[in-house]
Structure 1
Amino acid sequence: MHVLSWTSRWSLLACVWTILGAAAASDNSGIVEVDLVFPRNDTYAPTPLLPIIFGFQNSPLAPALAPQITFSIWNYDNKSDAVDTTAYDVRWANFSSSDPYFEYRGFVDFNVEKTWEIRYTVRWFSCTKDSLEYPYDITSNNTYKSVVFTTKNAGQSVDLVAATNEKGCSSDAGVAISVTDTLNATGISSWTGGDTCAVVASSTVTPNPCQIKISEAEASSISASVTARACEAQNPPIECPAGNEGHGLVVGGVGSKLHLFDPSDVFRLGNSDAARAG
């Protein structure tokens, strides 16, 4: 029989405590990255709807930043022509469901040959121990980015898996935020997020949007989700599955054309062509 001495036992416990402490620290710190995953600076075939997808790397830590994304779609050749403006308020998103976490919608404006620009803003909030003392001084941060792409008849079909597995992509498509700690923000009236807020490093970090990949399963999930939303419209831009012809959406008593559509019948899910709905 082998008997551990008290010294050995305490050494073993110290190692366990060190490991647990390191794990806890990693849960409260790390690089959170927000990336425009799709579209990229490329040329695509015109499509009745196009997904605009943002991804969050190290997503379980994202709620402490209370992140928000706003963007506008512009006619690149006419800088005064804004096609659409949208906000992704993801403060209450289920970031723990996957890492990376994807936030997406589909848009109907891209069934023509044209050059487009997406101008987007990533907004997040941070705090310090002092800022959580009355009168509370929560810091908001904004980073502005843009991407230009083209829809042209000779362009490639939209393929989320292939697009995110290409070797070349620009770091300009991402925003990286270095979180050094999280603090309890429960009951802080000026805090717009959940129970914790992030302490953010002053130094900048270079984003790595190429690290995000969309799998076949994830592409299929995106397709199914946005198709369902598209088919709720009064006049869906795509052929909908039988029994889901669209119910229309009424906002403020006025019929509204949805801007949420899914690429299931007009873009490919990875390497195989998606079956056409209907």
Structure 2
Amino acid sequence: MLDLSPSLVVVVAATFFAAGIVKGVTGMGLPTLAMGVLGALISPLAAASLLIAPSFVTNIWQLFAGPSFGVLALRLWPMMLAIVVGTVGGSSMLAGGSTLLTTGALGAALILYAAFTLLARQLRVPTDREPWLSPMVGAATGIVTGATGAFVMPAVPYLQALGLERDELVQALGLSFTVSTVALTAGLVWQGAFEVDNLFASVLAIAPALAGMWAGQVIRRRVSPSAFRRWFLICLLALGAKMLADAIF
């Protein structure tokens, strides 16, 4: 059971509020930022447990706010199925209690995601390659999710490369993140690593996450999303480098 001291409660609330702001501005980033910050303070397993409820609620909101749920579900179901299989299978790494391994893996995932998003050109995936590429990307995303609790790689750049319209892309990200959240919960339960007592703390994190999303939507109307996203990714890159260095040295 996670020992929620008053100081940790404040840190958790502040983290999910900040992560909600990022999601409100960019449409993503809540689990990545939350896992990055909390994973440096508590065990990655405990951080992943706290992530479950706020991630699920915010992603469901994002998923059903879009226009094309049925069409996207039919198009992306092989990827979603592979995410579930990969996440449940990879959850043994997160549940195994090897703090250095999971912290280092999370740091590497953050570095890879931030560097790719900052530096890489926009990719394009031809439609005829989706039938075999989607399950591969889904399985890889699932393994990373199961090992680190972060949902972004390589799902986010792949979905961005499908040429979806803006609202469709946001909804597709919501679909991927929702499936990943459910699969991570199932994996932790299957491994016997999910403590029901932590669910209460996770539910409490919903309020600051939703408040942050609302604030992020306000900010999005006043600040350039590209500038905000750039500095967010730079901070994420630095955080990932620190976590990876701590695990290695």
Tell me the TM-score normalised to structure 2 length: 0.30
Using CA pairs below 8 Å that are at least 6 residues apart, which structure has the higher relative contact order? 2
Determine which structure has the larger helix proportion and give its number: 2
Tell me the TM-score normalised to structure 1 length: 0.28
